């Protein structure tokens, strides 16, 4: 019997979940309650399975998402997740077939681009994705940070208060919406996301540790401007504390809120080290410390990958700090976004249209995705041979148009 790729029915879900768990090296066991909860988070019309003689051997799903681009606009994204192929069925083109099916449907639905978080680097470039954001994780040694140990709260008149999960579900969406209105790379969060993040909706197969939450409110009013969720351990040696705090989520819409929340975390009694979680590479954290060396980088890696589906709409949606024009020759083996396009951009807006003019910069759709949010340099990619200048100086002009003053950041795994 040939291998079949199709959308799954509700009756397929237990088998699909077993294949998903197998692919991610997790125990392939799910209670009826967990199957029911997971069903509530799936769009079955966008959930694909690869089947061999009726058994699920590959998984793939997508869902609607919004991605913030430079300038604050939110574009319609097709978020890809839960991608696996069972070890018995590798190298048979199953992922390629599922990817091609979903990306074609996403373009038909009007998605401007697709997004994913790549577990492994080499896989997704061949499907037109490129890494568009990176993250850095720091571990801060509190004793070396140089902060005033007598700190008892923000010196700007604001305040930090502990809150519970129910408060986070009330306050968090507003703070996050304000953040993603201005931070390129951030993605939308659903009510279900907030329920999962606060333990209001739990999966029996995933261990849950109840976190702590704190909110920062400015002196100007009671409006929250930052939230942090963290956990802490209880490690003692020879009657001395060696406890660590780990950030699960920290979002802030002002530098004052970010400063206050980090200072709060680094001032918790008994905590000797704080792990930052997934932060933007240009995050303020190290430079908020009198001794930035106390923040040691533990991980730095690519994070959000982008696959452009509608290049004119994507390039017209974002803003540009400079003015100029550029003719891009975009190669896309899948044929979803290939073509030659002329971009005319200025701080007042941009137009991007197909053109027959001579190309100035030739690149793949994946490399254009890498450049899209402004984090990477076309000059650097040209040096690597990934972007080809057809006219001298085209890569420099691309950087002048596309690069942003702050690096894009995606705080969410999906």
Domain covering 4-111 in this structure, CATH number: 3.40.630.30
CATH architecture type of domain 310-402: 2-Layer Sandwich (3.30)
Given this model, what pLDDT does residue 317 score?
A: 98
Given this model, what pLDDT does residue 149 score?
A: 87
Give 3-state DSSP helix, strand, coil % of the chain, rounded to 5.
Answer: 30, 30, 40
Q: Do domains 4-111 and 135-301 have the same CATH topology?
A: yes
Given this model, what pLDDT does residue 2 score?
A: 84
Q: Is the pLDDT of residue 28 over 80?
A: yes
Mean pLDDT of 128-154: 96
Q: Is the pLDDT of residue 315 over 70?
A: yes
Instruction: Give the chain's end-to-end CA distance (angstroms, integer).
Output: 34
Domain range 135-301, its CATH number among 3.40.630.30, 3.40.50.970, 2.60.40.420, 3.40.50.2300: 3.40.630.30
Q: Which residues are the active-site residues?
A: 124, 414
Q: How far is CA 248 from the centre of its chain?
A: 14
Per-residue pLDDT tens for 233-290?
999 999 999 999 999 999 999 999 999 999 999 999 999 999 999 999 999 999 999 9
Given this model, what pLDDT does residue 220 score?
A: 85
Domain parsing of the chain, residue ranges: 4-111, 135-301, 310-402
Per-residue pLDDT tens for 47-83?
999 999 999 999 999 999 999 999 999 999 999 999 9
Per-residue pLDDT tens for 187-238?
999 999 999 999 999 998 888 999 999 999 999 878 999 999 999 999 999 9
Q: Is the pLDDT of residue 1 over 60?
A: no
User: DSSP string spanning 285-348?
Assistant: HHHHSSSGGGEEEEEEEE-EEEEES-HHHHHHHS--SS-EEEEEEEE-TTSSS-EEEEEEEETT
Q: Which pTM value belongs to this model?
A: 0.96
Under 8 Å CB-to-CB from 207, ≥6 apart: which residues?
Answer: none
């Amino acid at each position: 019997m040939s291998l079949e790729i199709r959308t799954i029915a509700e009756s397929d879900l237990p088998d699909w979940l077993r294949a998903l768990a197998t692919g991610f090296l997790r125990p392939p066991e799910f209670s009826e309650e967990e199957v029911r909860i997971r069903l509530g988070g799936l769009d079955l019309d966008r959930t694909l399975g690869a089947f061999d003689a009726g058994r699920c051997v590959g998984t793939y799903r997508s869902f609607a998402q919004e991605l913030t681009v430079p300038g604050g606009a939110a574009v319609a994204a097709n978020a890809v997740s839960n991608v696996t192929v069972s070890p018995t069925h590798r190298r048979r083109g199953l992922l390629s077939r599922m990817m091609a099916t979903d990306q074609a449907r996403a373009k038909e639905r009007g998605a401007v681009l697709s997004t994913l978080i790549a577990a492994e680097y080499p896989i997704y470039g061949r499907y037109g994705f490129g890494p568009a954001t990176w993250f850095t994780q720091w571990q801060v040694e509190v004793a070396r940070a140089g902060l005033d140990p007598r700190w008892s709260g923000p010196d700007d008149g604001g305040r930090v208060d502990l809150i519970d999960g129910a408060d986070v579900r009330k306050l968090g969406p507003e703070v996050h919406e304000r953040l993603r209105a201005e931070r390129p790379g951030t993605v939308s969060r659903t009510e279900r996301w907030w329920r999962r993040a606060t333990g209001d909706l739990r999966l029996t197969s995933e261990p849950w540790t109840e976190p702590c939450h704190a909110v920062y409110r400015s002196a100007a009013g009671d409006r929250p401007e930052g939230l942090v969720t963290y956990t802490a351990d209880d490690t003692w040696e020879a009657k001395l504390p060696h406890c660590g705090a780990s950030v699960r989520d920290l979002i802030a819409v002002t530098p004052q809120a970010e400063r206050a929340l980090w200072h709060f975390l680094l001032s918790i009694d008994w905590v000797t080290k704080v792990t930052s979680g997934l932060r933007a590479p240009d995050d303020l954290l190290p430079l908020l410390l009198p001794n930035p060396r106390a923040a040691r980088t533990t991980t730095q890696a690519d994070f959000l990958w982008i696959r452009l589906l509608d290049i004119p709409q994507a390039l017209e949606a974002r803003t540009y700090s400079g003015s100029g024009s550029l003719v891009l020759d975009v190669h896309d083996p899948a044929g979803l976004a290939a073509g030659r396009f002329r971009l005319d951009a200025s701080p007042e807006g941009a137009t991007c249209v197909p053109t027959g003019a001579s190309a100035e910069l030739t690149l793949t759709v994946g490399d254009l995705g890498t450049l899209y949010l402004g984090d990477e340099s076309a000059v650097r990619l040209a040096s690597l041979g990934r972007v080809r200048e057809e006219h001298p100086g085209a890569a420099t002009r691309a950087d002048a148009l596309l690069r942003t003053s702050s690096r894009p950041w995606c705080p969410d795994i999906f």
